[in-house]
Amino acid sequence: MSSEAGEIAAGTVAERFKELYGAEPDGVWAAPGRVNLIGEHTDYNDGFVMPFALPHTAVAAVSRRADGVLRLHSSDVEGGVVELDVDALEPESDRNWTAYPAGVVWALRAAGHEVTGADVHLTSTVPAGAGLSSSAALEVVIAFALNDLYELDLKGWQLARLCQRAENVYVGAPVGIMDQTASACCTAGHALFLDTRDLSQRQIPFDLAAEGMRLLVVDTQVKHEHSTGEYGKRRAGCEKGAALLGVDALRDVPYAELDAALARLGDEEEVRRLVRHVVTEDERVERVVALLESGETRAIGPVLTEGHASLRDDFRISCPELDLVVDTALSAGALGARMTGGGFGGSAIVLADVADVDTITKAVEEAFAAAGFTAPRVFEAVPSAGAAGGVRLGADWSALPAQRSRAGLTAVQFDVVAGDLDDDRPEQVGVAQLGCPARVNGSRSR
């Protein structure tokens, strides 16, 4: 097993920026990738998700420009600096990586924020296309940078909404709100319980190391393609299910009434399977929240495994590689395992006692070799801080990691927000006020 997060020194990113653009950047920002602990394909059904941030991070050195020019460079992509005109940004006009950062500029401007250009150099340790949200890390790091540089004073959850809009409209990928919110709002040592309907959120303590457990991420190296095909079909099927059941979104189908709802779907077998996954998955998120909050961390293992069965059998978005990780890890002593992310490849997560980590890792690697699959990448996921930065010119560039964790601590004080992006004054709700949504029985109505 390797620690793949790597450390990106802010100073290195700033130096490369200077080589490219001939001047020091105004600052350096960071935003992480994420793993979703539980709550898969619930986000576009107005349901619950529970991601946590990875130590894997996109880091961007950025300077403000006043002349309408946007220059973009990634050290992870060949092709040099790409220069764009902010006035000419058009949704779905760009099929390259630059669509993600340019989309954020477009979304900010479309929302009325006067962003007049930027020079950007970035690099990332979030593996692309592995289901760990490298795209959201990219969007969020740019959004945080522009928010600071243009003094927009937007909150993390508001920036997340704009990044989602960038990806939905500018890039043209119909993703939910989870990835961007996770990258923007997660805090170290916690998973983020997010209600994707009203964006209220709660930080749930998730410190596995303290309890002698580890969470492994197994990247199958099988690439998924989010913006096309199967994802869109599942999403359309969920919308059809909601329409047939007469609800705004599948989140409104109470768990206690699931059987009756399924019966009403008649011969719509495929829709029935999708509905069953979404409704049971929301209930699993609530169960995991309740278990973690009552200190029964080990007991979340079987809930994760149940989630995998539902994704494999009902939602049908697993693949042989993901199933092999889950089956092998469980046979080798894992407490629980499931695929995570959009599906059809990407990564699985495995919850295990520390003592079993090496055995499980070896078993998975051997099983992949025996099956003739590409060797998986296995690494430990430590719940890490969300986006941060703004190290300024003249500052000690080596200070970024500390800056990032300080921002994580600050964010804890704002750990529940609710409201709409269009609101002038988003509602700030105290943790105690929000409370935990009622568990199961469909009583989580609002």
Among 63, 135, 181, 340, binds Mg ion (CB under 5 A): 135
Question: 195 catalytic, yes or no?
Answer: no
Q: 201 touches which of ligand ADP, Mg ion, none (CB within 5 to 8 A by kind)?
A: none
- Cα of first residue to Cα of last residue in the chain, in angstroms, is 44
**119, 148, 179, 356: the active-site residue:** 179
Provide, rounded to whole angstroms, the least separation between the CB of residue 304 and ligand ADP. 20
Q: Does 221 bind ligand ADP (CB under 6 A)?
A: no
Return the number of other C-beta atoms located less than 10 Å from residue 157's C-beta: 22
Secondary structure (3-state) at 102: helix
For residue 120, the SS3 value is strand
Query: Which of 69, 77, 152, 440: binder of ligand ADP (CB under 6 A)?
Result: 77
Instruction: List the interface residues with ligand ADP, window 89-108 (CB under 6 A).
Output: 97, 100
Give residues 353-392 in contact with ligand ADP (rule: CB under 6 A).
none
Is residue 133 a contact residue for ligand ADP (CB under 6 A)?
Answer: yes
Among 207, 172, 167, residue whose Cα is nearest residue 183: 167
Residue 43, amino acid: D
Tell me if 15 contacts ligand ADP by CB under 6 A. Answer: no
Q: How far is the CB of 372 from ligand ADP (least distance, A)?
A: 25
C-alpha triplet 214, 365, 325: angle, nearest 5°: 65
Question: Which CB atom, from 76 or from 198, has the smaller least distance to ligand ADP?
Answer: 76
220 near ligand ADP, judged by CB under 6 A: no
Does residue 176 interact with ligand ADP by CB under 6 A?
A: no
Binding window for ligand ADP (CB under 6 A); candidates: 73-81, 191-199, 387-395, 422-430: 73-81
Work out whether 56 is an interface residue with ligand ADP (CB under 6 A): no
* Residue 138 binds ligand ADP, judged by CB under 6 A: yes
Of the candidate residues 36, 42, 63, 135, the single one contacting ligand ADP (CB under 6 A): 135
3-state helix, strand, coil in the chain (%, to 5): 45, 20, 35
Measure the CA–CA gap between 307 and 281, rounded to whole angstroms. Answer: 7
Please check whether residue 301 is in contact with residue 351, taking contact to mean a CB–CB distance below 8 angstroms.
yes
How far, in Å, are 245, 369, 430 from residue 178 at the CA level? 25, 33, 21
- What are the start-end ranges of the H helices in 310-356? 320-331
Q: Is there a contact between 419 and 234 (Cβ–Cβ < 8 Å)?
A: no
Nearer to ligand ADP, 124 or 201 (CB): 124
Closest CA to 314 of 281, 359, 292, 337: 281
List contacts with Mg ion (CB under 5 A): 135
Q: Which residues of this protein are in contact with ligand ADP, per CB under 6 A?
A: 74, 76-77, 97, 100, 124, 128-135, 138, 226
Q: Which residues are known to be catalytic?
A: 179
